Chains A and B, each alone.
Chain A
Amino acid sequence: MSDMIQAVDSPQTITHAAKRIREIALQKEITPEVVLGVFDQWAAALGDRELHDVPGMSFLRLWLRRGNLEPILLRELGPNSLHGGWREDGRARLRAFPLGVIGHWPAGNVEIQPVLSLTCALLGGNGCLVRVPSGLVEITRRIMDKLQQADREGTLTERVFMAGFDHARMDLQEAMARAVDGAMIWGSAEAVSQVRALPFPHWARVAVFGPRLSAAAMDAATWSDRTQRSSWCQRIARDVWQFDQQACSSPQTLFLERGIGCDPAEFAEDLKKAFQEENRQHPRAEIEPALTTAICMARASWLLDDVGNRALFPATPDWTVLLGTGAEMPDPTQGRTLVVLVVDDLMDVISRFDGTLQTLGLGISDPRKEEMLAQAAGRCGVDRIVKLGRMHVFGSPWDGTELIRPMVRLVRHVLSQD
């Protein structure tokens, strides 16, 4: 089994790889149905115990399953798309064709993202050039080894080139940009801006999934329900822990609607228990000293800023709950630091949102109220509204954008004899 990730040192290596996979993509057409077949086997192979420690692995396996991807393909590419056929469109017909070679620049903080990004382009029949962030090389290699096992004929792997190189190597970044017909760019503002500035061909289609913030909200009836509260708190803890609260879909602030006869401090105590338990199950293995000091600073400034503010935290930097009031989202600290703000009206919170809010995790007991909040959130720029505990479940659309459709061309054919 060959190594799927190559340490690249020359622009020519990238240019040659792009040429090779473009030719394969042009000559060997694959239908989404074939891709789904390989993905299904890949998902099964990823169930190996040795990969259980990879953060996000359960999501990746779920994502790869036919039952998950088929509806997405049908919605994004239309009926008949699974078999690569044409579909009627009035007096014409339509069919999806690959763009060619797609360049992938995944974020460095989400372990499974190089692979998630890659799958979107493969479903469109494209070839893929993937720059694997240095911190994710080993994990990505382990995941891709399983694809090699599942894809014995190399149907997918022959059209993938994964490159490992320092992000500061502008010659390699530029070679990669010049060689692609489309790009999927993920990550922080700085990273995204740098990649967008690369010399892409004028025809390249670029999908950007830039930095976003996420928040959570619960109505009074939900958070004050003592019988269900610990379950909700576990869900919140899960959302906070995943990706160490560094993902765009990580909740940074939880808004609690004020209720009569229910004490937010009591809820915070339950949240503390859930955080303790989550931390017991998923302790940190390492931390950057700068994050430790940022967490200490968040605790101190919260309690020094307002004598009415409260906080729960251990002597370690493992987790922090900051409890106060207000409808404004404070600057995120990350590092499992959740700000819990009590508000009179959740609509007041949502009306302040804008397009930087990606995901709103909800725990709302009244469906009519949830409907209203979802309407308002959508209007105010939020792209995903999900149940608490499912904030990181990757799906299409993401960031309000389809994931497969932007990486194909829909070709329109009007019959000449018509």
Chain B
Amino acid sequence: MNALAEIEQGIEGLLAQPPYGVEPEEHHRALLTLLKKELDYAGERNPRFRNYVEHWPVDFRAAENIADLPYLPVRVFKANPPLALVGAEDVKRTLTSSATTGQVPSRVVLDAATARRMTKGVITIIRDFVGPSRRPYLVVDTPENLKGQAELGARGAAIQALGSFATEVVPCLLPGENGDASLDLEKLLAFAGKWKDSDVLVYGFTYVIWTQLVQTLQRRGITLSMPNVRVLHSGGWKRLEQQAVTRDVFARGVASVFGCSPDRILDYYGMVENVGIVYPDCAHGNKHVPCFGEVIVRDPLTLAPVAAGQRGLIQVCSALPTSFPGFLLLTEDIAEVISYDQCPCGRRGTNFRFAGRAPKAEVRGCGNLERTRYHQVEGSVR
């Protein structure tokens, strides 16, 4: 069996298990073995990546902990062309992150096998939280983001990943002229009337749900009366925090317009680079890691994993990609580890709470000068 086939077999083995049912030691052992094979494979496929792992202070082949394996900062995927383990001819889709204005988005390439695993991973996770049944699916977004394109943004990827739970998909926003969207109220009310008491799935980016759906309906005094809705949302809190919308305010606001209980609103953390894994909140407000991934929270001062109850930088791990080296990624987000295996919800393994983006570095003194400026004055002496 060649290396890739062996890796694929290992991934399928993990995907076949209950995502949160594996005993932590067994999970660690299986994932460590697989990740080492993947690192070896990735080094063979990409000499630049090999150069990186060979300079890692610990030889990954001898590592006894996932935390000792070489991880990449997630920002490396902002490079163009994207860091890949497959040739351009094998790229089926490129996922891009939702960079804010002026920022460079991350780009990760998926071949057919990785794309398939991505969908399978997300379905496995979401099924554990909302159940396996198919149901009407209301998308708080424009029809454009439902299209399957070769280059897919984070919103489109999240919307499509939940498509497997849908009997019908209804987008409820209308595209505007300047890229702004507005609520298609007629369509929304028709959907709500049709599926009033049914089990319905809703998904949208957090700030889109708030600004386009909740605020619009609140202004008009409309309640949809859909008590059995499950609202999933993701995409970060930065913009809402600027408007002083807390998680609690958000959940109560969404619940009030749908006429459901706030516990039917499910926030999840995720990023396109951590392919195939999302982290929804459990009933106890904690995020969990499936058996085909891991989360390591690192102390910024030492980069060592923190103890339960402590905060640090989030490193995400996923065994699923084989088209790009996104196995072990250090993010710029902060989390608190709640416990390493004791969540009352019954899910096994690491559980954590997202605590926001790492604040940008303060202005770093009189040496804070970038080469861009160095070049702006080229040819002149001050």
Q: Which of B122-130, B155-163, B367-375 contacts A (4 or more CB under 8 A)?
A: B367-375
**Alpha-carbon separation in the docked complex, A145 to B369 (Å):** 34
Evaluate contact between B76 and A297: CB separation under 8 angstroms. Answer: yes
Asked whether any CB of chain A lies closer than 8 Å to the CB of B41, the reply is no
Contact in complex: B364, A109 (CB < 8 Å) = yes
Interface check A124, CB cutoff 8 A: no
> In the complex, what residue of chain B is closest to A285 when comparing beta carbons?
B301
A213 touches B303 (CB 8 A): no
Complex-state Cα separation, A213 to B381, whole angstroms = 14
Q: Which of A40-48, A150-158, A186-194 contacts B (4 or more CB under 8 A)?
A: A186-194
The answer to whether B367 touches A248 (Cβ under 8 A) is yes
CA gap between A107 and B366 in the complex, in Å: 7
Q: Which residues in chain A, 312-342, are within 8 Å of chain B measured between CB atoms?
A: 312-317, 329-332, 334
Interface string of B267-285 (1 = CB under 8 A from A): 0000000000000000000
Known: A307-B51, A310-B55. A300 touches B364 (CB 8 A): no
Taken residue by residue from 55 to 99, chain A's Cβ proximity to chain B (1 for < 8 Å, 0 otherwise) reads as: 000000000000000000000000000000000000000000000
Q: What 1/0 flags go to A287-303 for Cβ under 8 Å of B?
A: 11111111011011101
- CB within 8 Å of B: which of A187-232? 187-191, 209-214
Known contacts A296-B330, A311-B55; is A108 also within 8 Å of B374 by CB? no
Binding stretch for chain B, among A172-180, A239-247, A410-418: A239-247
**In this assembly, does B363 line the interface, its C-beta being within 8 Å of a C-beta of chain A?**
yes
List the A side residues contacting B330 at CB < 8 Å: 293, 296
Shortest C-beta distance, B368 to chain A (Å), equals 4
B51's partner among A210, A309, A329 (CB-CB below 8 A) is A309
- Check: A237 CB closer than 8 A to any chain B CB: no
Contacts of B303 in A (CB 8 A): 292, 296, 315-317
Contacts of A246 in B (CB 8 A): 364-368
Tell me if A252 is interfacial: C-beta within 8 Å of chain B.
Answer: yes
Across-interface contacts of B371 in A (CB, < 8 A): 329-332
A-B contact count (CB 8 A): 174
**Within the complex, which residue of A250, A290, A300 is in contact with B332, where a contact is CB–CB below 8 Å?**
A290
The answer to whether A247 and B367 touch (CB under 8 A), given A293-B75, A296-B73, A310-B55, is yes
Residue of A nearest to B334 (CB): A289
Checking A108, A305, A315, A329 against B365 with a beta-carbon cut-off of 8 angstroms, the contacting residue is A108
A316 touching B55, Cβ below 8 Å = no
Are B358 and A304 within 8 A (Cβ)?
A: no
Q: How far is the CA of A278 from the CA of B49 in the complex (A)?
A: 30
Q: Does B313 contact A (CB under 8 A)?
A: yes
User: Which B238-261 residues have a C-beta within 8 angstroms of A?
Assistant: none
Contact residue among A186, A296, A307 (Cβ-Cβ distance under 8 Å from B366):
A186
For A213, the chain B residues whose CB sits under 8 A away are 367, 369, 374
Contact of B380 among A210, A287, A311, A355 (CB under 8 A): A355
Contacts of A15 in B (CB 8 A): none
Question: Contact between A189 and B368 (Cβ–Cβ < 8 Å)?
Answer: yes
> Given that A296-B73, A301-B76 are known contacts, is A250 also in contact with B368, CB under 8 Å in the complex?
no
Q: Which residues of A contact B374 (CB under 8 A)?
A: 213, 329, 354, 356
Q: A300-B73, A354-B378 are in contact. List 8 more A-B contacts (CB 8 A).
A: A211-B365, A247-B367, A288-B359, A290-B361, A292-B300, A293-B330, A296-B73, A304-B83
Q: Does any Cβ of B come within 8 Å of A16's Cβ?
A: no
Residue positions of A touching B, CB distance < 8 A: 107-110, 186-191, 209-214, 243, 245-250, 252, 284, 286-294, 296-297, 299-301, 303-307, 309-317, 329-332, 334, 354-356, 380-381
Q: Are A297 and B366 in contact (CB under 8 A)?
A: no
A408 and B303 alpha carbons, distance in the complex (Å):
51
State A330–B58 Cα separation when bound (angstroms).
27
B219 is an interface residue with CB less than 8 A from chain A: no
Return the chain A residue nearest B360 by Cβ.
A290
23 contacts between A and B (CB under 8 A): A109-B364, A109-B367, A110-B366, A187-B363, A190-B363, A213-B367, A213-B374, A246-B365, A286-B301, A288-B358, A290-B360, A291-B361, A293-B73, A293-B358, A294-B361, A296-B303, A300-B52, A303-B52, A304-B48, A305-B48, A316-B303, A334-B368, A380-B381
**Contact of B73 with A212 in the complex, beta carbons under 8 Å:** no
Q: Of B47, B312, B365, which one neighbours A109 at CB under 8 angstroms? A: B365
The number of chain B residues with a CB under 8 A from chain A is 49
* B301 CB to nearest A CB, Å: 5
Shortest Cβ distance from B71 into A: residue = A296
Quick one: closest B residue to A379, CB to CB?
B381
Contacts of B301 in A (CB 8 A): 284, 286-287, 292, 316-317
Once bound together, how far apart are the Cα atoms of A73 and B363, in whole Å? 33
- Complex Cα spacing A286 to B378, Å: 36
- Partner of B358 from the list A109, A210, A290, A306 (CB cut-off 8 Å) is A290
**Which one of B304, B334, B367, B368 has the greatest number of beta carbons of chain A within 10 Å?**
B367
Query: Is A247 touching B366 in the complex (CB atoms < 8 A)?
Result: yes
Q: State the 10 A-B residue pairs at the shortest beta-carbon distance, nearest first.
A: A109-B365, A355-B382, A289-B358, A290-B361, A248-B366, A246-B365, A289-B300, A211-B369, A292-B300, A188-B368
A110 to B55, CA, bound (A): 33
Residues of B near A250 (CB, < 8 A) are: 367
Residues from chain B with Cβ under 8 Å of A252 in the complex: 367
- A187-B366 contact in complex given A289-B300, A316-B302, A329-B371, C-beta closer than 8 Å: yes
Residue contact B368 to A315, C-beta cutoff 8 Å: no
Residues of A contacting B373 in the complex (Cβ-Cβ under 8 angstroms): 189, 356
- B55 cross-chain contacts in A, Cβ below 8 A: 299, 303, 310-313
CA–CA, A214 and B52, complex, Å: 28
B359 touches A209 (CB 8 A): no
Contact with A along B33-47 (1 / 0, CB 8 A): 000000000000001
Residue of A187, A209, A294, A304 ringed by the most chain B CB atoms within 10 A: A304
Please report the C-alpha to C-alpha distance between residue A248 and residue B368 in the assembled complex, in whole angstroms: 8
Contact (Cβ within 8 A) A304 B52 = yes
Q: Are A210 and B366 in contact (CB under 8 A)?
A: yes
Interface centre among B75, B364, B365, B366 (most CB of A within 10 A): B366
Tell me if B104 counts as interface (CB < 8 A to partner A): no
Is B344 on the interface with A (CB-CB < 8 A)?
no
The reply to whether B377 and A356 form a contact with Cβ atoms under 8 Å apart is yes
Q: A288-B359, A303-B52 are in contact. Are A245 and B313 (CB under 8 A)?
A: no
| B334 partner residues in chain A, CB cutoff 8 A | 289
Report how far A311 CA is from B54 CA in the complex, Å: 10
The reply to whether B76 and A300 contact each other, CB–CB distance below 8 Å, is yes
User: What is the CB-to-nearest-CB distance from B304 to chain A, in angstroms, rounded to a whole number?
Assistant: 8
**B57 within 8 Å of A (CB atoms):** yes
- Residues of chain B with a CB closer than 8 A to A288's CB: 300, 358-359, 361-362
Q: Are the CB atoms of B361 and A212 closer together than 8 Å?
A: no
B379 within 8 A of A: yes
A residues near B58, Cβ cutoff 8 Å: 315
Q: Which residue of B lies closest to A354 (CB)?
A: B377
Chain B: CB-nearest residue to A330 = B371
Shortest CB-to-CB span from A245 to chain B, Å, is 7
